[in-house]
Amino acid sequence: MKFSYNWIRELVEDLDCSPAALEKLITMKTAECEGIERSGELLERACAARVESVEPIPGSHNVKAAVDAGRYGRVTVVCGAPNCRVGIVTAYAPVGKKVIDGIESDGMLASGAELGVNRDHAGIIEIDSQVGAPLAGCLPDSVLEIDNKSITHRPDLWGHLGMAREVAAILGRKLKDPVRLDLLPEGPAAVDIQIEDLTLCPRYSALVFDNVTVRPSPLWLQSRMTAIGLNPINNIVDMTNFIMAELAQPMHAFDADLLHGDTIFIRPAAPGERYVALNDEEYTLNPANLVIADAAGAIALGGVIGGQRSAIGEKTRRVVLESANFQASSIRKTSSAIKLRTDASMRFEKAQDPANTIRGLARAIELLHEIAPGMRLVGGVADQMREIPPPPPIRLPLDWLERKLGRSIEPAEVRRILESLEFGVAQPEPRVFSVTVPSWRATKDVSIKDDLVEEVGRMVGYDSIAPTAPLVAAAVPPGNPERAFQHQVRGIFADQGFTEVYNYSFIGEEDARAFGFDPAAHVRVSNPIASDQVLLRMSLLPGIRKNILENSKHRESFRLFEIGVEIHRRAEGLPDEIPHLMAVLYDRQGDGAAGLAEIRRAAECLMPGAQASPAEARPYEHPVRSAAILWRGETVGRAFELHPSLVESGRAAVLDLDLRLVRALSAGDLKYAPIRRYPSSAFDLSVVAAPRECVGDLQSAMASFAGPLLDSIEFVRQYSGPPLEAGQKSVSFRLTVGSPERTLSSEEAGEIRARIIDGMRARGYELRL
Amino acid sequence: MLEESIQELESGSLARIASATSLEDLETVRVQVLGRKGALDQFFKQMGKLAPDERARAGKVLNGAKQTLEAALESAKRQFAEAALRIRLDGEWLDPSIPAPGPRRGHLHPITHIQRELEEVFRSLGFAVLDGPEVETEYRNFDALNIPADHPARDAQDTFWLANGDLLRTHTSPVQVRGMERLGPPLRMIAPGRVFRNESVDASHEHTFYQIEGMMIDRGVSVAHLLYFMRIMLAEVFRREVNVRLRPGFFPFVEPGFELDIQCLLCNGAGCPVCKQSGWVEQLGCGMVHPNVLRMSGIDPEEWSGFAFGLGLTRLVMMRYAIDDIRHLQGGDLRFLEQF
Ligand SMILES: [Zn+2]
């Protein structure tokens, strides 16, 4: 929202604060100011001038003009405007001498756009003024840009008067209300208003004007509109925009001669009702949209945009001027449903003050007298409204206010601040105020005592509050074991050489299919930004694979990992978000075997004693290089080689762990076991097995025969080749046996060994002794 | 006579020890001089023939010569051993500049670094670290935070909606609601986490970024307390004293709401391009918890009050490391990530 400094100065008595100082005050006490723009700088020195003669310049589209520039004397100006002709009265600006087309040009003749008066840059401006006179009512201005987000809760700040009230309160000046309600005509109105639902439209006021001449606005009005970023259109439309920008009251003018009947209906749209708006778009409406209608149909989409059928044009003579109030949420719904936000809808959705409708009409009367001379009022004010009882006063205990702010403040100071913002203040009991909220703050903004803390706090200045440590009981905060565990996992994997990545929670349907996931099983985003961000990931793998493909362009080998949630749909309630670790080890060289071994070793750093056992490969896994990871009796994840068709440049070993399971198994108290006092004895055994027989299976079979005195069994090596037959391998283990109570005799150790040999032979294994 | 011969043998043998070039040379000397049938032994045998007083004197000389030669031999042997060790060790020279084999330590993500720092700061101040899900209900993300369905504040948070009406959380604030529901007052908590906004990605905008939400609820919590915590938190974050200021800001779940600025750390408030000459840099949004929010979570606003703040973690990370393109953070490029 742009605010004109000149405009604010008109509304605040004796405003002597520079725009830059004002910007700072507003930012600190009211709303965030994002900067100041200068507007119409040329106007400072510009004056009306007449072109006396024009000579063409050979080989140039410019002309050489002799100009009577009033107090600047007679000057020669090189001008490129097509309308530079003898006799034209235009604006001259003394911007210095410069040689153009070989001719010394002294100053310039300016277009409306160059002057900042309007947006016309087709030619130099044509004005109706005394030569040498300044451009009436047009002054350079400073425009303060206020961040819209910082005023969403302040309906009153969507107009200059609201901001001027803040400025007056901040500086202790008087506010000048530009509205003269005494201008409103008495008597029966020339139009009837019928509001179907007074909740959706709490108030609708209108006035009829006759003998209107539609034409460009005077320059002062055009330049005012231009300064705050609005496009001057004609005197009637500019007038409605002016009032909107001043009072935050959006208005709309209908050409009365284009309306059917004398009644204006405010009603829900009929299902499928079609409506062509001023922006030339046709909208198909439904009963959730509120329309303004005449006997023949919709003439405006209430509070959002006017209709083409009744638009003001050159031929307009009679005008119905609407000044209405609409329910904020209804406007917001309609405007977002049809994806159209207008200056009007933006204001109405902040909950405007219903008391403002007739104030807008009163201001319009005053303006129209000036900008549409000859205009006549027809009838009195048409005004339909719901009785809106004033909100009850707010009880403000001053001790509570001080506690909340964390500083003391004199009651007189509180009163002064609230009254400067036009709150009513009474004191029904000691140290308690009863505060009445002005209508323009009462629609949504201020309703509870906490809201008044802000009014007092910002005006007294938050910088007057000294930071203070609270007096609270010392307590150890509740822990977050899941997060602590994830941090621990991060540390372990980083120590093992893996670098952490963060990937998006989104994947595309194509991503899902590439891995054999069913897109329909995923949680789906209804309004995705892009087609590759439609689904929420049920696996970290699609993101990790992208990381592999990207980084393999620059690196021979690398390790990376991510900790993130898999999002799984549930029949009811929010999805299940399961924290996972996915670590990957990529190598362009080699056959991938070393990578898989290394990733299992990394897994063991997190889970000592974890084992891997062959698992049926999933579509994205190497068909014979896939294993389940088991720890403490539970399957906690998988280790596999990514299917070589998914990463063609090298081999990628992947570890995928369900961290919720791993953490559950990590918990539990450790207890010390005494160190063995008696020596143990060790012996080696080698088993002959088929090539794809797993070492782990052989090992657990041997352990099962060994009995309780087995201390450990370790894989030593495996071997194939002579003297073994083809299709055989020999796997060697070292077994250690012992007892916590005594030293085993060699006979006892021998018995265990024999038991294992017999057991294995019974299973059909040959042992090499 | 005998004494002279002994002295002759002694000096001759010392000369041979001194000129020995190997352990074998020394051994030869030892055998010939000190050995069981060596030259000294011959002298001992001759001593028997001497008169007693002569014998005593010669014995003394002889023993002296023996000790001298034994010591000389021992010392010469040690020198040979030391030299041999020196030679052996010298052969074991290694090039220490050859890089050590094996993987290097990996790197944690920059967001992880800063997030953990902040978790530490707040835990040490008695704040619990809470988590919430990425997918949230509309109720917790908006309604329970005093942002009803048609509130214009929803515009500021372009939302990713899910088919069943749930959404991807647009801020970490719903964890406030979870914290109040779970822990009740008094409460001190922070919630770092991933949030989502439906906007297109460019160098300074992301649809996925990180925030830290914080909240304190107790009896008599004031704006002065909020200022205190913000100042010490930011001093930790920026590792130096910071000046902060509050100005009005609007967030529906707090009243009053503030924008908190810190005095520009580059120019110390004098004005520079980074702070747009204002001397201040916008840092975070905060405020006193709105009574509606307390009430919706079953907390009596007449008894309890609190403050809440929300800090853009991603932005902080970018400031700390001078990262100029937000897309790096979720780009997975090791050339970027390995710098942290
Ligand atoms: Zn600065």
Three-state SS annotation for chain B: CHHHHHHHHHHHHHHHHHHCCCHHHHHHHHHHHHCCCCHHHHHHHHHCCCCHHHHHHHHHHHHHHHHHHHHHHHHHHHHHHHHHHHHHHHCCCCCCCCCCCCCCCCCCCHHHHHHHHHHHHHHHCCCEECCCCCEECHHHHCHHHCCCCCCHHHHHCCCCEECCCCEECCCCCHHHHHHHHHHCCCEEEEEEEEEECCCCCECCECCEEEEEEEEEEECCCCHHHHHHHHHHHHHHHHCCCCCEEEEECCCCCEEEEEEEEEECCCCCCCCCCCCCCCCEEEEEEEEEECHHHHHHCCCCCCCCEEEEEEEEHHHHHHHHHCCCCHHHHHCCCHHHHCCC
Interface test with A, best of B200, B247, B336 (most A CBs within 10 A): B247
- Chain B residues whose CB is inside 8 A of the A348 CB are none
φ and ψ of B16, to 5 deg:
-65, -40
B99 within domain boundaries: no
Q: Does A31 touch chain B (CB under 8 A)?
A: yes
- Clarify whether residues B204 and B322 are in a common domain: yes
Q: Cβ separation of B135 and A574 shorter than 8 Å? A: yes
pLDDT digits (tens, 9 = 90+) for A648-673: 999 999 999 999 999 999 977 888 88
Best CA proximity match to A687, nearest among A668, A700, A674, A671: A700
- Clarify whether residues B68 and B121 are in a common domain: no
Interface test with A, best of B334, B336, B338, B339 (most A CBs within 10 A): B334
% of residues, chain A, pLDDT over 90: 88
CATH of the domain at B207: 3.30.930.10
Q: Does A462 touch chain B (CB under 8 A)?
A: yes
B218 within domain boundaries: yes
Q: Cβ separation of A577 and B134 shorter than 8 Å? A: yes
Best CA proximity match to A538, nearest among A499, A575, A574, A571: A575
DSSP for residue A575: P
Residue with structure tokens 């810190």?
B262
- Chain A residues whose CB is inside 8 A of the B162 CB are 523-526, 536
Q: Show the domain range for B149.
A: 110-337
- B104 CA distance to ligand 1 middle (Å): 39
Residue with structure tokens 């209405």?
A324
Q: Which residues of A9-44 are buried (b: 16+ CB within 10 A; e: fewer)?
A: bebbeebebebeebbebbbbbbbbbeebeebbebbe
pLDDT for B151 beyond 80: no
Q: Cβ separation of A499 and B207 shorter than 8 Å? A: no
B319 within domain boundaries: yes
DSSP for A156-221, please give it.
Answer: GGGSHHHHHHHHHHHHT--B-----GGGS--S-BSSEEEES-TTT-SEEEEEEEES----PPPHHH
Which amino acid makes up residue A41? Answer: E
Mean pLDDT within A236-252? 97
Q: Cβ separation of B305 and A524 shorter than 8 Å? A: no
Q: Does A605 touch chain B (CB under 8 A)?
A: no
Is the CB of residue A709 less than 8 Å from the CB of residue A743? Answer: no
- Clarify whether residues B78 and B153 are in a common domain: no
pLDDT for A214 beyond 90: yes
Whole-number pLDDT of residue B302: 94
- Integer distance in angstroms from the first to the last C-alpha of chain B? 88
Is the CB of residue A330 less than 8 Å from the CB of residue A336? Answer: no
Report the distance separating Cα A58 and Cα A638, nearest Å: 84
- Clarify whether residues B36 and B166 are in a common domain: no
- Clarify whether residues B125 and B82 are in a common domain: no
CB neighbour class for B116 (10 Å; exposed up to 12, middle 13-18, buried from 19): middle
- Clarify whether residues B243 and B159 are in a common domain: yes
3-class secondary-structure state, position A663: helix
Region of A14 on the Ramachandran plot (φ > 0 left; ψ -120 to 50 alpha; else beta): left
B245 within domain boundaries: yes
- Clarify whether residues B125 and B238 are in a common domain: yes
pLDDT digits (tens, 9 = 90+) for B279-312: 998 999 999 999 999 999 999 999 999 999 999 9
Best CA proximity match to A462, nearest among B155, B52, B47, B231: B231
How distant is the alpha carbon of residue A72 from its chain centre?
53
ipTM of the complex: 0.86
* CB-based contacts of A462, cutoff 8 Å, min separation 6: B223, B227, B245, B246, B247, B258
**Rg (Cα) of chain A, in Å, rounded?**
42
pLDDT digits (tens, 9 = 90+) for B19-72: 998 889 999 989 998 888 888 888 888 877 888 888 888 888 888 888 999 999
A 641-700 → B contacts, CB under 8 A: none
- Clarify whether residues B224 and B154 are in a common domain: yes
- Chain A residues whose CB is inside 8 A of the B194 CB are 505
The residues that bridge with B286 in the sheet, in sequence order, are B258, B309
Best CA proximity match to B215, nearest among B125, B314, B319, B150: B125
Query: Per this entry, what is the length of chain A?
Result: 769
B332 within domain boundaries: yes
Mean pLDDT within A173-178? 96
B105 within domain boundaries: no
Interface test with B, best of A409, A526, A598, A605 (most B CBs within 10 A): A526
Cα separations in angstroms, B51 against A138, B56, B58: 145, 9, 10
Cα separations in angstroms, A18 against A14, A144, A638, A717, B319: 12, 12, 69, 87, 33
CA distance B98 to chain A (A): 19
**Number of folded domains that form chain B:** 2
- B326 CA distance to ligand 1 middle (Å): 22
Whole-number pLDDT of residue A62: 92
Structure tokens at A141: 């201005």
B101 within domain boundaries: no
Structure tokens at B262: 């810190």
Query: What's the half-sphere exposure (Cβ side, CA atoms, 13 Å) at A209?
Result: 29
Interface test with A, best of B146, B150, B261 (most A CBs within 10 A): B150
- Clarify whether residues B40 and B119 are in a common domain: no
* CB-based contacts of A581, cutoff 8 Å, min separation 6: A489, A493, A561, A562, A563, A637, A655, A656, A657, A659, A662
Peptide bond into A723 cis (omega under 30): yes
Which amino acid makes up residue B288? Answer: M
Residue with structure tokens 């996992």?
A489
- Clarify whether residues B81 and B199 are in a common domain: no
Region of B19 on the Ramachandran plot (φ > 0 left; ψ -120 to 50 alpha; else beta): alpha
Instruction: Please list the alpha-helical segments (H only) found in A434-480.
Output: 439-442, 449-460
Tell which wins on pLDDT, B38 or A167.
Answer: A167
- Clarify whether residues B53 and B171 are in a common domain: no
CA dihedral A412, A413, A419, A421 (to 10 degrees): -170
Structure tokens at B36: 């069981």
Best CA proximity match to A91, nearest among A38, A159, A45: A45
pLDDT for A224 beyond 70: yes
Whole-number pLDDT of residue B156: 64
Mean pLDDT within B230-258? 92
Residue with structure tokens 């006179």?
A133
Peptide bond into B174 cis (omega under 30): no
Give the domain-ending residue among B33, B60, B91. B91
* CB-based contacts of A405, cutoff 8 Å, min separation 6: A453, A456, A457, A460, A465, B222, B223, B224
pLDDT for B154 beyond 80: no
Helices B2-19 and B52-90 cross at an angle (nearest 10°) of 0
- Clarify whether residues B316 and B168 are in a common domain: yes
Tell which wins on pLDDT, B1 or B252.
Answer: B252
Structure tokens at A703: 């352990």
Structure tokens at A25: 């005050």
**Nearest chain B residue (CA) to A27:** B247
A 396-425 → B contacts, CB under 8 A: 403-407
pLDDT digits (tens, 9 = 90+) for B82-140: 999 999 999 999 999 999 998 899 999 999 999 999 999 999 999 999 999 999 999 99
Is the CB of residue A711 less than 8 Å from the CB of residue A675? Answer: no
Best CA proximity match to A228, nearest among A163, A176, A300: A163
- Helix, strand, coil percentages, rounded to 5, for chain A: 30, 30, 40
CA distance B302 to chain A (A): 10
Structure tokens at B297: 């979570």
Structural domains of chain A in order of their starting residue, each with its CATH number: 2-37+144-171 (3.30.56.10), 41-115 (2.40.50.140), 181-385 (3.50.40.10), 394-464 (3.30.56.10), 481-666 (3.30.930.10), 681-768 (3.30.70.380)
Structure tokens at B101: 């084999």
pLDDT digits (tens, 9 = 90+) for A702-749: 999 998 999 999 999 999 988 888 889 999 999 999 998 899 999 999
Whole-number pLDDT of residue A524: 95
Best CA proximity match to A609, nearest among A642, A636, A584: A636
pLDDT for A317 beyond 70: yes
3-class secondary-structure state, position A767: strand
Q: How confident is the model at residue B1 (pLDDT cuts 50, 70, 90)?
A: low
Is the CB of residue A266 less than 8 Å from the CB of residue A278? Answer: no
Is the CB of residue A559 less than 8 Å from the CB of residue A496? Answer: yes
3-class secondary-structure state, position A342: coil
A 471-490 → B contacts, CB under 8 A: 472-480, 482-483, 487, 490
Structure tokens at A449: 């005592």
- B269 CA distance to ligand 1 middle (Å): 6
Give the domain-ending residue among B58, B91, B124. B91
Mean pLDDT within B157-164? 87
Task: Please name the member of A493, A524, A558 whose beta carbon is closest to the beta carbon of B334.
Answer: A558
- What's the mean pLDDT when you consider all of chain A? 94
Helix H or strand E encompassing A705: helix A695-706
Instruction: Please list the alpha-helical segments (H only) found in A12-130.
Output: 19-29, 112-115
- B238 CA distance to ligand 1 middle (Å): 15
CA dihedral A571, A573, A575, A578 (to 10 degrees): -110
B102 within domain boundaries: no
- A578 CA distance to ligand 1 middle (Å): 44
**Nearest chain B residue (CA) to A490:** B108
**Nearest chain B residue (CA) to A547:** B332
Q: Cβ separation of A525 and B338 shorter than 8 Å? A: no
